[in-house]
Amino acid sequence: MGKNNEKCPRLAFMCSGNGSNAKAIVNACERGTLDANPVLLVSNRVSAKALEWGKKYGLPSVVITNEKDQLKILRDNDIDWVILSGYLSIIGSDILNGFKVVNIHPSLLPRHGGRGMYGMRVHESVIASGDSITGATVHMVSDEIDQGKILGQSTIEVYESDTPHSLSERVLDEEHKLFPKVLSSILLTLPMKTCLKCRETKPFSDYGKNRSKKDGLQTYCKECNREYYYYGHFLSH
């Protein structure tokens, strides 16, 4: 997959259907326009089409419906960012507290967002409201539906001739362009920290969490911590 650069942020995708936005992000990584490592695809539905293309791309793709097991596989794969792509289930607090979770919504939030507003329902609402513009919104996921920090938006005109279906197709095209672009912008501005062992300056995502520290991060980066515990274990036996 892509560059397979271990210093790049590690991405996991959560999809319930086609996962076309996840696919657009993976393609951006393949092209080199997004500096990240797609590592894992998780679905809560056996019928999800995303599982098919994920496997064709060589991306480990699994069906897990239990949040406890989802949390475990995300941790086991050292995931930095969880990307929602048409994931039709509420993300629990353990995942929200343990990872940076990002979603894309097919409207200009805060309009046409909230509980029950997904898929074609959003576009039906846009047309029924008589809106002249609509678009897509990339946002952080919080414990309130569609209320997380907005990271980026893209706008298109609503035509008089539009149907919910035609509008959804044009918005989806915008989503495929917007999501990788916003992620690229975020990853370029990641906060950095210098590891006290290897002395390399790395993104916060390269450090484990430690609530006792002022910045909430461990002193050593993940790589140095692995070496420390590996050699410490064998030297003590």
Domain ranges of the chain: 10-188, 192-235
Q: Which residues contact 123 (CB under 8 A, 6 or more apart)?
A: 106, 134, 164, 165, 167, 168, 171
Q: Tens digits of per-residue pLDDT, 132-151?
A: 999 999 999 999 999 999 99
Whether residue 96 is predicted with pLDDT greater than 90 in this model: the reply is yes
The DSSP code for 32 is T
Q: What's the CA dihedral at 143, 36, 183, 185 to 10 degrees?
A: 130
Q: Which two tokens stand for residue 187?
A: 């990853």
Of 25, 55, 58, nearest in space to 175 by CA: 25
Of 46, 64, 60, 52, nearest in space to 10 by CA: 60
Distance in angstroms (rounded) separating the CA atoms of residues 22 and 229? 35
Q: What is the pLDDT of residue 232?
A: 57
Whether residue 2 is predicted with pLDDT greater than 70 in this model: the reply is no
Mean pLDDT (whole number) for 160-188: 95
Distance in angstroms (rounded) separating the CA atoms of residues 152 and 109? 10
pTM of the predicted protein model: 0.79
Q: Given phi > 0 = left and psi -120 to 50 = alpha, else beta, which region is 189?
A: alpha
- Residue 6: pLDDT band (50, 70, 90) is low
Of 42, 95, 48, 82, nearest in space to 64 by CA: 42
Percent of the chain at pLDDT above 90?
Answer: 76
Whether residue 180 is predicted with pLDDT greater than 60 in this model: the reply is yes
9 near 80, Cβ under 8 Å?
A: yes
- Residue 155: pLDDT band (50, 70, 90) is very high
Q: Tens digits of per-residue pLDDT, 11-62?
A: 999 999 999 999 999 999 999 999 999 999 999 999 999 999 999 999 999 9
Distance in angstroms (rounded) separating the CA atoms of residues 143 and 64? 21
Question: Cβ atoms within 10 A of the Cβ of 111, count?
Answer: 17
Q: What is the pLDDT of residue 201?
A: 65
What element of type H or E holds 74?
A: helix 67-76
Q: What is the pLDDT of residue 237?
A: 44
Q: Has 139 been annotated as catalytic?
A: no
Q: Tens digits of per-residue pLDDT, 212-223?
A: 988 889 999 888
Q: Residue 77 carries which side chain, given as an amino acid letter?
A: N
Distance in angstroms (rounded) separating the CA atoms of residues 121 and 116? 8
Question: What CATH number belongs to 10-188?
Answer: 3.40.50.170
Q: Which two tokens stand for residue 139?
A: 């946002």
Whether residue 101 is predicted with pLDDT greater than 60 in this model: the reply is yes
Of 38, 29, 41, nearest in space to 73 by CA: 41
Catalytic residue among 105, 123, 139, 176: 105
Helix, strand or coil, per DSSP, at residue 7: coil
125 near 119, Cβ under 8 Å?
A: no
Q: Tens digits of per-residue pLDDT, 192-207?
A: 777 888 877 677 777 8
- Put the strands of the sheet holding 100-105 in their side by side order: 61-63, 37-43, 10-15, 81-85, 100-105, 133-140, 150-157
